[in-house]
Amino acid sequence: MRWHPYLGARGRIFNNDTTWQQETNRTSGLTRILEVYPRLTEEFLQVATTSEIQADKMKMVQYKDQSICLANSAGKYYAIRNTCTHLGGPLAQGKLEDHTVECPWHGSRFDLTTGEVKRGPAQTPEQVYEVKVEGTAILIRPK
Ligand code: FES
């Protein structure tokens, strides 16, 4: 594809096998990718500092309007939506064991890395968040 010297973008000269419509579809593909994978547009936000959450403890924090259970498991941080998918129990008040959190209300267990249900009665996985630590700041965004 080349640019027309006088018409600029509107005058792009395409290869024989590329039409204007195909080119338009290709460039609008980025918009579609961002619709399909919204996390690419989600920003990391600081939700806590490392001094606020001791080893093998959990704490409820806020990411935008969402309550999040932030866990420190042996010095590695995990973030999972705080509201249990069973009946809404507060996961941050439950038990932390290795890479799972147990809901304090009826004992459902969720994998902190994937949100997968490890034990019922919950049947729906939890939303998990990507975590990064910059200095003493803990930042998260949806996975
Ligand atoms: S509310 Fe969490 S297991 Fe029932």
Q: Which domain holds residue 24?
A: 1-41
The total domain count for the chain is 2
Task: Indicate if ligand 1 lies below 6 Å from the C-beta of 120.
Answer: no
- Quote the DSSP letter at residue 41: T
Q: Do 70 and 125 fall into the same domain? A: yes
Q: Do 69 and 22 fall into the same domain? A: no
* DSSP for 57-126, written as a single string: EEEEEEETTEEEEEEEETTEEEEEESB-TTT--BGGGSEEETTEEE-TTT--EEETTT--EEESS--SPP
Q: Do 3 and 36 fall into the same domain? A: yes
| Alpha carbon of 86 to ligand 1 centroid (Å) | 5
The one-letter amino acid code at 65 reads D
Q: Do 35 and 50 fall into the same domain? A: no
- pLDDT at 39 (0 to 100): 54
Task: Indicate if ligand 1 lies below 6 Å from the C-beta of 122.
Answer: yes
Question: What's the average pLDDT block by block, 10 residues per block, for the chain (143 residues)?
Answer: 49 52 55 55 91 96 96 95 98 96 98 97 98 97 94
Q: Do 5 and 23 fall into the same domain? A: yes
Q: Do 56 and 89 fall into the same domain? A: yes
- Mutation test of ligand 1: which of 81, 84, 102 has the most ligand atoms closer than 8 Å to its C-beta? 84
The one-letter amino acid code at 112 reads L
- pLDDT at 70 (0 to 100): 98
Q: Do 58 and 73 fall into the same domain? A: yes
pTM of the model: 0.73
CATH for 58: 2.102.10.10
Q: Do 55 and 70 fall into the same domain? A: yes
Q: Do 64 and 126 fall into the same domain? A: yes
- Name the percent of the chain in helix, strand, coil, to the closest 5: 20, 45, 40
Instruction: Specify the residue with its C-alpha closest to ligand 1, atom 4.
Output: 106
Q: Do 111 and 85 fall into the same domain? A: yes
- pLDDT at 7 (0 to 100): 47
**Which residues, other chains included, contact 112 with Cβ-Cβ below 8 Å and sequence gap of 6+?**
71, 73, 78, 80, 99, 100, 101, 128
Q: Do 6 and 49 fall into the same domain? A: no
CB 126 within 8 A of CB 80: yes
For the CA of 107, the closest atom of ligand 1 is 3
